[in-house]
Amino acid sequence: MTVKKTFSLIPEKRLLALYQAMRTSRALATKTSSGNEALVCAVALQLAPQDALAADDSAHDLRHLKGEPLARLKRGSTAELRRGFHSLPTLKSTAAELLYFAAGVAMAQKRSNTALVTVVILDGSKCHGREWTAALRFVAAQGLGLIIVCDGAAKTGNLRGKLVEEPGSQSEVKGLPPVLQVDRGDAIAVYRVAQEALTHAREHQRPTVLRAFGQRELGPSDPHARLDPIRRMEEYLRSKKIAYKPLKARLK
């Protein structure tokens, strides 16, 4: 008797590629970035070679996903990639300043080809305040194909009472990019939300904010939030009857 596979909107080959990317990301990540694999891989895996990705230079997993050879990463090279990885400024820059930097990259992309996308990954705890809102308004006014990934909630008090109050999270808010909220540990959810944002960026030159929440924000009421992202991905593959085996990162 054969077991029928259940339907998935994401092709099986793509799901396995996402799982392998998460395993490789875990092998390359630092202690501080471990556990972030679902968020970064589900977004970065959907980028075209010509798309731009702006993040901290120490994000070796992202640099590898953007095409940097593992051998070069092992040598500790920090040279700028020609394949579209842009190192964010690190000298006490605010989230707003980093967003303006990413906007500059997106403007260059737009001049080259309006179908190109720029993704910037920022520390979500710093993405708030008047300067941040002003930067969001600037990005929206320029009509940029920019995806702004805010990893974590803004440190502005009780999150549960403020979700719908975040700039852009209500459809009636004018002049701001829309905000899509997602569980950072759920690779499938991130993939689908990022896919929607990328479509709007490519076809309509519309920026989108992806606000990723984790266990601290989702709380103990959500048992899945406590699970390791890779384990959650394995559970999903099993639920879809997709054959897999743990994939070790090929670091040689």
- Predicted confidence at residue 161, as pLDDT, reads 35
Q: How far apart are CA 96 and CA 104, in angstroms?
A: 13
CATH code linked to domain 12-73+80-239: 3.40.50.970
Q: Which of the four pLDDT bands, split at 50, 70 and 90, describes residue 251?
A: very low
- Predicted confidence at residue 120, as pLDDT, reads 96
- Predicted confidence at residue 2, as pLDDT, reads 42
Residue with tokens 């905000």: 179
47-93 per-position pLDDT tens digit:
998 999 998 866 777 777 777 777 666 665 555 545 688 888 876 89
* 246 phi-psi bin (left φ>0, alpha ψ -120 to 50, beta other): beta
- Per-domain residue ranges for the chain? 12-73+80-239
94-118 per-position pLDDT tens digit:
999 999 999 999 999 999 998 999 9
Which tokens sit at 192? 């689908």
Q: How far apart are CA 106 and CA 250, in angstroms?
A: 32
Give yes or no for a contact between 85 and 61, defined as CB atoms under 8 angstroms apart.
Answer: no
Residue with tokens 């090279």: 77
DSSP tag of 81: P
- Predicted confidence at residue 77, as pLDDT, reads 57
